[in-house]
Amino acid sequence: MRAAIVTARGGSRRIPRKNVKDFLGKPMIGYAIGTALASGLFDRVVVSTDNEEIAEVSRRLGAEVPFRRPPELSDDNASTDKVLLHAVQECRRIYGGLSDGCCIYPTSPFLTAGDLARGRDMLLAHRATSAFPVVKYDFPIEQAFILDGVHPRAKWPDKLMARSQDFEDHYHDAGMFYWFDAEKFLQAGELFCADSVAFAVPGDRFQDINTPEDWERAEIKFRVLAGQTVR
């Protein structure tokens, strides 16, 4: 069995009810669930949550909520690795098997079926523990500053005046999804392994959504990508 596992806890503080809050006409989690269902890549779309409202909304959107996430995996300190380990074990207990799957974050309105298919293909082609998207930093990290009070200090002074084209590209996790081989992930206990593989997605389809300002930026980007007028 191949499953999408959407991890959605209910304790968001900076954006209350973030995972079910309306995002341009749909509950935020609906984008992750809808894309996973429409992709045709999964036998089941499962939501791991501790919250009854999230569970009800998820079922209404077509996902399954066959188990409840325990409190110790539902606070700010719970890692994705631990949450996913619990979900994989529960899926195997309830459904009888899980060969591979995809952990999808619920705040992924820019997720596409093409992204999911590319991640799956990379996971299988490379026989990797995990496969996930990354985004390129839009400025060389070697020329970063830190603030000493109000005074900017070059983190790496010897690189500050170098040509930007002489630096390597650097990438960060897009925070959208992680394909995983179930057996390898259970053995490793973590998603980021030496054999993990990744591919780049464009920056205009990436937005961390942790604050109200992030939410507003995500709405603007979504409207632009959809060809809507932004005021």
As separate numbers, helices (DSSP H) first and strands (DSSP E) second, the chain gives: 6, 11
Residue 85 within a domain: yes
Residue 177 within a domain: yes
CA distance 133 to 114: 12
CA distance 53 to 55: 5
Query: Domain range holding 126?
Result: 2-134+171-225
The reported pLDDT for the residue numbered 60 is 98
Q: What are phi and psi of 39, to 5 degrees?
A: -70, -25
Q: Which two tokens stand for residue 193?
A: 């392994």
Residue 156 within a domain: no
pLDDT tens string, the chain, 231 residues long: the values are 999 999 999 988 899 999 999 999 999 999 999 999 999 999 999 999 999 999 999 999 999 999 999 999 999 889 999 999 999 999 999 999 899 999 999 999 999 999 999 999 999 999 999 999 999 999 999 999 999 999 999 999 999 999 988 999 999 999 999 999 999 999 999 999 999 999 999 999 999 999 999 999 999 999 999 887 555
Residue 87 within a domain: yes
DSSP state letters, 139-189: S-GGG-EEEETTEEEESSGGGTTS-GGGSPP-EEE-SSEEEEEHHHHHHHS
Residue 146 within a domain: no
Half-sphere exposure of 64 (CA within 13 A, CB side): 15
Total domains present in the chain: 1
Residue 13 within a domain: yes
Helix orientation angle between 113-126 and 28-39, rounded to the nearest 10 degrees? 60
Residue 164 within a domain: no
The reported pLDDT for the residue numbered 227 is 84
The reported pLDDT for the residue numbered 25 is 96
CA distance 43 to 213: 36
CA distance 96 to 19: 29
Residue 161 within a domain: no
Task: Give per-residue burial for 183-217: e unless 16+ CB within 10 Å, then b.
Answer: ebbeebeebebeebbbeebeeebbbebeeeeebee
The reported pLDDT for the residue numbered 97 is 87
> What CATH code is carried by the domain that includes residue 183?
3.90.550.10
In this structure, the number of other CB atoms found within 10 A of the CB of residue 21 comes to 14
Cβ atoms of 101 and 83 within 8 Å: the answer is: no
